[in-house]
Amino acid sequence: MAQKQIELQDLDLQQLVEVKKQLEDELSHLTSSFGQLKQAQNRFADCIESCKAIHEKNEAKTILVPLTSSLYVPGKLADVQKVIVDIGTGYYVEKTTEDAIKFYNAKVAFVNGNLEKIQTTVAQKQGNLRSLVDVMQYKLQIQQQEQKAAAASKA
């Protein structure tokens, strides 16, 4: 970190502005990724909840099956043992509900790991950005003082 400070000191204002922009771009990209991952995690958690609702007690009960988001048809829960799970790239696998819950739990944990990684990166980048802004303000101050001094010597 100390080394970074020295490097920052060596840059002129315009370069600092560019670095700042780059950092801000990276940060916004990371935060949007973070939000997307969070959404994915919530979707998986919803899937777990849905799997938990499929058990013997609910067998043969009538349910409403969504054909589209606004059109439902009545149906009966015929099989409470198995569900079909989307595992990506167009492949679906038949699993028991317990296995499906395990599968989604693993997914949630996987996403969680990535979320933590992003969070540390975001914190680090924010630290970098803060020290960069500090250096920028310092440089600006010096520039202003120089201008004032120049104006004073002229007068």
Q: Which residues bind other proteins (CB under 8 A)?
A: 84, 87-95, 103
Q: How far is the CB of 60 from other proteins (least distance, A)?
A: 23
CB of 84 or CB of 150, closer to other proteins: 84
Instruction: Give the shortest CB-93-to-other proteins separation in angstroms.
Output: 5
Please, what is the minimum distance in Å from the beta carbon of residue 111 to other proteins?
12
Nearer to other proteins, 53 or 93 (CB): 93
- Cα atoms found within 13 Å of the Cα of residue 94, Cβ hemisphere only: 4
Q: Give me the least distance between CB of 59 and other proteins, in Å please.
A: 20
Nearer to other proteins, 6 or 91 (CB): 91
Structure-block tokens of residue 148: 């004032």
State which residue, 74 or 88, has the beta carbon closest to other proteins.
Answer: 88
Of all helices (H) and strands (E), which one includes residue 84? Answer: strand 82-88
Contact by Cβ (8 Å): 100, 85: yes
Name 122's Cβ contacts closer than 8 Å, sequence gap at least 6: 27, 30, 31, 34
Strand ranges (DSSP E) for the chain?
Answer: 62-68, 71-76, 82-88, 91-96
